[in-house]
Amino acid sequence: MSTLVHTRLDVRPLSVFTGAEIHGVDLTQPLTQDEVDEIRAALLRWKVIFFRDQHIDHAQHLAFARRFGRPTSAHPYDANPPEGYPQIRTISSASTTGRRGERWHTDVTGVVNPPAGSILRAGRQVPAFGGDTLFTNLVAAYEHLSPALRALADGLWARHQFGGFNGDFDNQTVYAQRVQASPLVSEHPVVRVLPETGERALFVNPGFTRRIKDVNEEESRHLLNLFFEEITRPEYTVRFRWQPGSIAFWDNRATAHQGPGDFAYLDVERVLYRITLEGDVPVGVDGRHSNAVLGKPFSAFGVDTGAVA
Ligand code: SIN
């Protein structure tokens, strides 16, 4: 396996499987098509890419995102985006979402078309240390299963759910009440085939995947634990330290991530801004598409009228 990608951008891999820093581009300026193509190629190769010292504002963040897809509304449950930017979700350690610490997850897999990508940018305020984000590579996880387990996983489907259960949130918050009241539920293939590369990703995550279909509850629990252990193996992960001007852009079809569990101990409030890109409906190894059980597809809901380049 080659670990080098030859581009005119300076692409610096951060681990054998996952993550690369991109240098030699200025995101305060409009990107050329070559730059867009090279960034996209790096994203497909490394699954999550990082930029440093890119001090962009909300408008520039949005302009960057639109070169790679169609931004969704901020979040299916988040009604408090920054003024004038309904596509941007503010993620603050002091927020009122009542998060009890992060679990490994892929963004919004309760919907039938989970976001294709997420672009998370540090605000002016991030802690000097602590508050890191972890990412893992679901393709590497799939490819290192034994052949017999890959064959089993290829034929499985799983139910993903966002909301409608207790445990992750402090129920006193408005956000938590909204999540509980309107669950999003979909069935996705356990192994999804990525359209551009044909790679197979082990598309399950502890945050939202609740149940393997067509097996009994105990079997489902064992299988999910096995897959969760596989996707979170340290060798597939990369850990990102935030600084002002840092950006992480992940392929949400091929990764899971875990925000910090040390929110309560940070020396300053940690503020990040996230844009998610509208996703396609996952396709399994047998060509079947995911289906929605509860809730609508996650899209711009009329808030984003910008052109996709
Ligand atoms: C997210 O889950 O998108 C946020 C991750 C983080 O806060 O580091």
Whether 20 is in the pocket of ligand 1, judged by its Cβ within 6 Å, is no
Which atom of ligand 1 approaches the CA of 270 most closely?
7
Whether 108 is in the pocket of ligand 1, judged by its Cβ within 6 Å, is no
Averages of pLDDT over each 10 residues, the chain, 309 residues: 61 98 96 97 98 97 97 85 93 66 89 97 91 97 98 98 67 73 93 98 97 98 98 98 97 96 85 96 98 91 47
Whether 271 is in the pocket of ligand 1, judged by its Cβ within 6 Å, is no
Q: Quote the ligand 1 centre to 120 CA distance (angstroms).
A: 8
Q: What is the mean pLDDT of the chain?
A: 90
For residue 249, what pLDDT is reported? 99
Tell me the H-state helices in 50-173: 58-66, 138-143, 147-154
For residue 174, what pLDDT is reported? 73
H/E element, 12: strand 10-13
Find where tokens 């991030």 sit: 126
107 is annotated as an active-site residue: yes
Whether 91 is in the pocket of ligand 1, judged by its Cβ within 6 Å, is yes
For residue 99, what pLDDT is reported? 52
Q: Quote the ligand 1 centre to 112 CA distance (angstroms).
A: 21
H/E element, 61: helix 58-66
**Separation CA 66–CA 287 (nearest Å):** 29
Each residue's pLDDT tens digit, 76-124: 887 678 999 999 999 988 764 545 457 899 999 999 999 999 999 998 8
For residue 267, what pLDDT is reported? 81
Torsion on CA atoms 158, 108, 73, 164, rounded to nearest 10: 90
Torsion on CA atoms 39, 41, 42, 47, rounded to nearest 10: 110
Residue 28 — φ and ψ, nearest 5°? -80, -15
The one catalytic residue in 45, 66, 105, 200 is: 105
- Ligand 1 pocket check: which of 48, 99, 102 to mutate, most ligand atoms within 8 Å of Cβ? 102
Q: Quote the ligand 1 centre to 237 CA distance (angstroms).
A: 15
Q: Quote the ligand 1 centre to 226 CA distance (angstroms).
A: 24
